[in-house]
């Protein structure tokens, strides 16, 4: 059960062109977002689609896969862990962000 402690699995469509960063250490980083959709009917019988956006971060070989094979709009499966961090923006305000650190990427669709 220890492997279930912090595991996230998502299937969705990439919402923007992935941002690829080559760090001085030689490591590669890919940042992008995916949208997941859930549909349901409200009390009036109308179909409602709820879209949630998820920030994804990939490192190393996984980032290389993203760079080479994951354009905007591509359907992907993501497995990773949920992380939260804070940073200061250019105005000195403290910002918080939650991301999925991807350790497995599945290319879906066409």
Over the stretch 7-62, which tens digit does the pLDDT of each residue have? 999 999 999 999 999 999 989 999 999 999 999 998 888 999 999 999 999 999 99
Instruction: State pTM to two decimals.
Output: 0.84
* pLDDT of res. 55: 97
* pLDDT of res. 1: 57
Q: Which of 81, 32, 67 is nearest to 53 (CA)?
A: 32
* pLDDT of res. 52: 95
* pLDDT of res. 32: 97
21, 86 Cβ separation under 8 angstroms? no
pLDDT > 80? residue 110: no
In the chain, DSSP assigns E strands to 8-14, 19-22, 28-41, 47-59, 75-88, 94-107
């Amino acid at each position: 059960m220890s492997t279930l402690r912090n595991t996230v699995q998502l299937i969705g469509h990439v919402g923007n062109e992935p941002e690829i960063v080559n760090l001085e250490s030689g490591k590669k980083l890919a940042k992008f977002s995916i949208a997941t959709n859930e549909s349901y009917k409200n009390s009036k019988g109308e179909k409602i689609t709820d879209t949630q956006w998820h920030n994804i971060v990939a490192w190393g070989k996984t980032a290389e896969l993203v760079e080479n094979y994951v354009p905007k709009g591509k359907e992907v499966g993501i497995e990773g862990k949920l992380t939260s961090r804070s940073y200061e923006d250019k105005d000195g305000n403290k910002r918080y962000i939650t991301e999925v650190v991807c350790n497995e990427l599945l290319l879906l669709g066409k």
